[in-house]
Structure 1
Amino acid sequence: MSEILRIIGDGKEIPDAGVPDGLSDKDLVEMYRWLVLLRTFDERAVALQRQGRIGTYALYWGEEATQAGALYACAATDWVFPSYRQNSIGILRGVPAATVLAWWRGFGGVHGFWNPREHRVAPICVPIATHLPHAVGLAWAAKIKHESTASLTWFGDGATSEGDFHEAMNFAAVMKTATVFFCVNNQWAISTPIHKQMATATIAEKGAAYAIPAIRVDGFDPLACWKATKEALERGRAGDGPSLVEAYCYRLKAHGTADDPRLYRDESEAGRWMHLEPVGRMAGFLKRLGIMTAEEEESIRAEAKESIAAAVKEMESIEQPGREILFEHVYASGRPWTFDEGLAELEGVERPPEVKPLGPPTGAGAGEEGKTQ
């Protein structure tokens, strides 16, 4: 299963394959807008971390196609279950960007600081693969209720080495849940290369063990991600069960702001993949087709920068929430008396002083506002 679905060329050696059925010119521009917004958020979040204005942050630079492309295929009623790498996916579903930034500042509470039911976006999951059974459970519940809701969940190649991955795949296959398992295979689980994690040649072929159909796509190609996810979702809603999508790409940046990939890999390898990054690639595709002009491209980028800049200001005006946020979004209605008892006990505990940055930002990438607060 080595064949990879690819639609967008690179403007050089890889030819364009045309626009998939079901996408209008307006859709294509909107998908590009999503890509740019995600990229802008990621770059600004890294700068904020370097300035000591948010905590450690997990980068996704270069993996925007796996997020925007896949999410664009979802219906409004579908649920999505992100890992820490898809940390800003909620902003594409109406979650304020300031709210997501506040989560990285430590002001988001343990449940994500947004209402999952309102946006159908589950809280960001940091433990590896633990959200996969959640996605399956949601789809199973929808099936029991005779709803057409499907679930989409993202995870990395490292997650396939966890037991939760296998349990979720097996349960979904047996119960025929409408779940799309979207694996972003960027070939690195922090410092562990994929060939040290598994003996199979691809992640997609793991689906055969559970009788789950699988497909490999170019993880830098938003249209390939969209097409594979859309077909998988339709299959699930038709009652044919789950699907596995392997988005083959490369982690172009560090694992996170506390990581230095130069310590364990040859960074020239990342350079060989850089020309495939999705934002520039999608822009080139749209301009080659005459769907977007250079002026429109610049306008979209400027709009995204303005939006995220406003979100940063809003984030820094958010006050530290009270302890009662611990109990929000846990039960559908009401809460047991033990929660009230626990909250009353917490009220008697002195709140620690606010933590301030230790000093000025250091290293590359400190950003345009190189001062701490």
Structure 2
Amino acid sequence: MSNKIKLAYTRYLAPDGRLTGELPPWADDFNLLTRLYRQMVLTRLFDQKAVALQRTGRIGTYAPTLGQEAIGVAIGSLMHPEDVLVPYYRDTAVQLMRGVRMEEILLYWGGDERGSAYAEPAVAQDFPLCVPIATQALHACGVASAFKIRGEHRVAVTTCGDGATSKGDFLEALNVAGAWQLPVVFVVNNNQWAISVPRRIQCGAPTLAQKAIGAGFHGEQVDGNDIVAVYDRMQIALERARKGKGPVLLECLSYRLGDHTTADDATRYRSGEEVKQAWLEEPVKRLQTYMVSQGVWDEGREQTLISECQGLVQMAVEVFESTGTQSPESVMQHVYAKWPAALAEQHEWFMERAARRAGGDHHGQ
């Protein structure tokens, strides 16, 4: 018996920007495509600055999104304000589209808890970035369960990388989502590398999308470098979940052009030729080439956009770096619903120390 399961795969724009078939009707809106392109460029320039900030010791370890901008931008542009994002650590693009401020993202990666206290009301219920692998998938099912119990037409959207799909948390989340028919959309960013482990050996399944089938719901693949394809299928997935038709798993095929994080050196485990080939398929250039071919984009607009985006990024950096230092005791907040005695003692010590400092007593520091 063959282990091949035929799943839908969607692509509209080839790597060279040419059409592979008829576009969906909404894609005739070049104002929309321009907004999506602008956001991909902004994400990429912010990403470059974040890496530079880490390299110069101004923020901590950072997870780049280079080459994966189309996935996040499509997700963020389609979610309703009342939906809830339950992200993983490579979701800068989604957060920016949802309304999280660039300076808040920098605060988070700088180790400041205030980076997860989003100022924008529309994202107040979105979860903070999740660093443990795949645990966010179960959190999303909890959120979706609340939506269903309350009879609310809202969707929980959760994201992860390809490596996370091999974790028990992810598979348990699929199981409960299918069994309870929850309004949740799972988006897998299959960027081909689970840190240093290639997709071909970290999971024996021919596709990652087919894992949804075992849980009793719909799964499909999409070209994650084609924002038209990701936008189109994500739009359908969200509406399906919103109308009570159950969960969806979208496997977006992309490529991680940068290191796993700034603590990684990808040259140790993958070839330069592989990365060079992947650059020929990346999403930003692909959409730009298509828009140029349609006469709606040119070099002048490109340079204006880059200048505007760089200005926005620089302003965010200045806000981030002018933010006052967080209080020492803040490292213990948001950890327990009810503090254990040992932590309460530490917090009391911190508060007493802060009071002494405010009073000018610097002894014992």
TM-score range relative to shorter protein: 0.7 to 0.9
Cα separation, partners in 2 of 1:193 and 1:139, compared to 1, 3 Å: same
**1:297 aligned partner, one-letter code:** E
Cα separation, partners in 2 of 1:77 and 1:94, compared to 1, 3 Å: same
CA contact (8 A) 2:77 2:97 kept: no
Structure 1 position 172 matched with structure 2 position 165: no
Cα separation, partners in 2 of 1:125 and 1:313, compared to 1, 3 Å: same
For 1:79-118, what aligned pairs fall within 5 Å after superposition?
79-87=84-92, 89-108=94-113, 112-114=116-118, 118=122
Structure 1 position 284 matched with structure 2 position 286: no
Partner of 2:100, secondary structure, is: coil
Partner of 2:159, secondary structure, is: strand
What corresponds to 1:209 in structure 2? 214
User: Higher mean Cα deviation, 249-258 or 113-122?
Assistant: 113-122
CA contact (8 A) 2:100 2:120 kept: no
Aligned-residue CA RMSD (Å):
2.6
What corresponds to 1:293 in structure 2? 298
Cα separation, partners in 2 of 1:228 and 1:328, compared to 1, 3 Å: farther
Deviation digits for residues 314-373 of structure 1, max 9, x if unmatched? 111111212564587789xxx86989956434324679xxxxxxxxxxxxxxxxxxxxxx
For 1:66-81, what aligned pairs fall within 5 Å after superposition?
66-81=71-86
Matches of 2:21 and 2:353, distance apart in 1: 62
Cα separation, partners in 2 of 1:45 and 1:18, compared to 1, 3 Å: farther
CA contact (8 A) 2:77 2:98 kept: no
Paired residue for 1:248, among 245, 253, 261?
253
Matches of 1:32 and 1:237, distance apart in 2: 27
CA contact (8 A) 1:139 1:150 kept: yes
CA contact (8 A) 2:82 2:122 kept: no
User: Higher mean Cα deviation, 187-196 or 285-294?
Assistant: 285-294
CA contact (8 A) 1:71 1:226 kept: no
Large movers: runs of 4+ above 6 Å: 327-331, 335-340
Deviation digits for residues 243-263 of structure 1, max 9, x if unmatched? 000001222111111111111
For 1:1-373, what aligned pairs fall within 5 Å after superposition?
1=6, 4-11=9-16, 15-23=19-27, 24-87=29-92, 89-108=94-113, 112-114=116-118, 118-119=122-123, 120-323=125-328, 325=330, 343-348=347-352
Partner of 1:204, secondary structure, is: coil
Cα separation, partners in 2 of 1:282 and 1:329, compared to 1, 3 Å: farther
**2:281 aligned partner, one-letter code:** L
Matches of 2:93 and 2:328, distance apart in 1: 24
Cα separation, partners in 2 of 1:337 and 1:213, compared to 1, 3 Å: closer
Query: Normalising to structure 2: TM-score of the pair?
Result: 0.87
Q: Which runs of 5+ in 1 are unaligned?
A: 352-373
Partner of 2:296, secondary structure, is: coil
Cα separation, partners in 2 of 1:64 and 1:319, compared to 1, 3 Å: same
Cα separation, partners in 2 of 1:245 and 1:341, compared to 1, 3 Å: same
Matches of 2:19 and 2:93, distance apart in 1: 31
Query: Normalising to structure 1: TM-score of the pair?
Result: 0.85
Matches of 1:309 and 1:75, distance apart in 2: 29
Deviation digits for residues 45-103 of structure 1, max 9, x if unmatched? 01111111111111110000110012222222211111111145322222221111011
Deviation digits for residues 128-163 of structure 1, max 9, x if unmatched? 001111111111101111111101111001001111
Matches of 1:279 and 1:138, distance apart in 2: 33
CA contact (8 A) 1:9 1:285 kept: no
How many residues in Structure 1 have an aligned counterpart in Structure 2?
346
Shift in Å, 1:15? 3.1
The structure whose RCO (Cα within 8 Å, separation 6+) is larger is 1
Partner of 2:174, secondary structure, is: helix
**2:89 aligned partner, one-letter code:** Y
Matches of 2:75 and 2:175, distance apart in 1: 22
Percentage of pairs with the same residue: 35
**2:116 aligned partner, one-letter code:** G
CA contact (8 A) 1:67 1:89 kept: yes
